[in-house]
Amino acid sequence: MERLKKIHNFSIPSTIHILSEEWIHLQFCSTNATITRAIYHTSRFNVKFKVQKFCIQYCQWTCLISADDKHKIPIREEVAVFTGVQNQYSLIAQDSILATTDHDFTKLFLTPSVIFFILIPNDILESFYNGQVFVSYKNTVFELSSAIRHLAEFLNALNIQYEHQILPPILCLYTDGGSDHRCNYGSVQIALICLFICEDFDLLIAVCTAPNHS
């Protein structure tokens, strides 16, 4: 809201229904206060804001990355599907081309991994959605997402992004709370330590987003 007011330099009319600060507060509250999971909703939603302020204050020495795996992509046969050929025997030549199938077969799934190098703005009210995006694909079955695989992806992206520049001594990572990114898992902690040592960082900050806010 403050950013919108700053851009347009006027008060927003009451007839325009936009997100309010109260609505943002409610996103960090449990929808059911009686379940056990509700005790983890402590309303500490300023963590992201503080990390952003830290990045702005030390922007010349900081690299801010947001990373996440997206929904898997099905790879199917590039032929038409026709139910009329189902359960029917037919003789075809050995060197003939497959023209139709009786099912929409999926050969494999690809999982896109997105690494976003955020261009750190000069002010907290400015946008954090500018920067360079790297997308890599991996086989969902044989190349499962894991902390050590993400480490390799981060190293590759960092080497490309800073090929002709000096790598900043501070790295801030924003990820979701999945098992391949959760900071309280030993496998993730080991991968982060390896990343810290491999690139010789002075400081590495790893932050997970709030639940259901990937």
Task: Give, for 74, the enclosing helix (H) or strand (E).
Answer: strand 73-76
Spatial distance between the Cα atoms of 46 and 26, rounded to a whole number of angstroms:
14
> Which position has the token pair 């804001």?
49
Q: What is the pLDDT along the chain (214 residues), one digit of tens a residue?
A: 566 566 666 566 666 666 666 666 666 666 666 777 666 666 554 445 678 888 999 999 999 999 888 888 887 766 665 555 555 555 667 777 666 665 556 677 888 889 999 999 988 888 888 999 999 888 888 888 888 888 889 999 999 999 888 999 999 998 887 778 888 888 899 999 999 999 999 999 998 876 655 5
Domain boundaries, the chain: 2-9+16-208
Spatial distance between the Cα atoms of 203 and 192, rounded to a whole number of angstroms:
11
Q: For residue 166, give the DSSP letter.
A: P
Phi, psi of 47 (to 5 degrees): -60, -45
- Please state whether 91 falls in left (phi above 0), alpha (psi between -120 and 50) or beta: beta
